[in-house]
Chain A
């Protein structure tokens, strides 16, 4: 019974993930695309929870669905909801045909590789205890084994913040 419930949650979250991903790239109005991406991020957080990644799931909802999407929605509101005009006036252009072929090739390659590896090593998952993926464990690793990655991340965020301020200031002086 427990196993069935896990499968049910997985199917709902996985399907929601794929459907909202396709919705993001097919809406003409960027506002609806951003709303669909919030659904995508939320269902991904459910998948992370099923993979015992509790801290990453919480960070996903806070950082992505919270902070990043609010920024997106502000910029979309700033520009107004201008719908995009299709490229080829209804007919597919060479760019679109090529892009769909490239995306399909990418997907087929990865699925074939996964299919070749399935059944062997991929099917055996390590058994983990209850502390796997908890904030305590991830925080301990960040301050011991992965301290350098933690510090580099903080520098990256600082540089991005300075870059955002400089971009905004220059575009204002150019007016």
Chain B
């Protein structure tokens, strides 16, 4: 295989995943939390595709495409919720969304 080994791709994937996790934990705007979730999903996708290349098997790529479809559905529902929050004049801040706190 020309170019870097799978290990380097996995390091990039790990870095992307933890960047996304940091974004989910640190940011308060639900829009940016959703964007960070996309980064986490893409980190996982990169690892799946790297392993598919290493094994010489297509299953990882099929899984990555399924993850992409699930991510698109998740964005539809998430953005629908954010628009519903905005229409009810709720503040767009995940720290203030404490209605379900026990």
What is A's interface to B at a CB cutoff of 8 Å?
2-3, 6-7, 9-10, 14, 17-18, 21-22, 24-25, 30, 33-34, 37, 40-41, 44, 47-48, 50-53, 55-56, 59-60, 63-64, 67-68, 71-72, 75-76, 78-79, 82, 84, 87, 95-96, 98-100, 102-104, 106-107, 110-111, 114, 117-118, 122-128, 132-133, 137-138, 141-142, 146, 149, 152-153, 156-157, 159-161, 163-164, 167-168, 170-172, 174-175
Contact = CB atoms under 8 A, between A and B. Distances in A.
11 contacts: A14-B8, A17-B16, A21-B20, A51-B50, A59-B68, A64-B68, A72-B35, A84-B29, A114-B10, A122-B6, A153-B66
Give the secondary structure class of B's interface: helix
B99 interface: no
Given A123-B5, A167-B84, A72 B31 contact: yes
Given A10-B8, A51-B50, A163-B76, A21 B16 contact: yes
A168 B87 CA distance: 10
Contact of A141 (B35, B46, B58): B58
Contact of A125 (B1, B12, B32, B69): B1
B15 to A, nearest CB: 6
Contact of A114 (B11, B29, B34, B77): B11
A138 B77 contact: no
Contacts of B22: 25, 99-100, 103
Interface string B1-41: 11111111111101111111111011111011011101100
Interface of B: 1-12, 14-23, 25-29, 31-32, 34-36, 38-39, 42, 45-46, 49-50, 52-59, 61-62, 64-66, 68-77, 79-84, 86-88, 92, 95
Contacts of A123: 5-7
B77 A167 contact: yes
Listed from nearest, the 4 A-B pairs whose CB atoms lie closest are A126-B56, A160-B73, A25-B23, A99-B25
Given A37-B35, A126-B55, A103 B12 contact: no
Given A84-B29, A167-B80, 18 more contacts: A2-B2, A24-B23, A30-B31, A47-B9, A51-B52, A71-B76, A75-B31, A78-B86, A87-B95, A95-B26, A98-B25, A111-B14, A123-B5, A124-B54, A125-B1, A132-B58, A156-B73, A174-B87
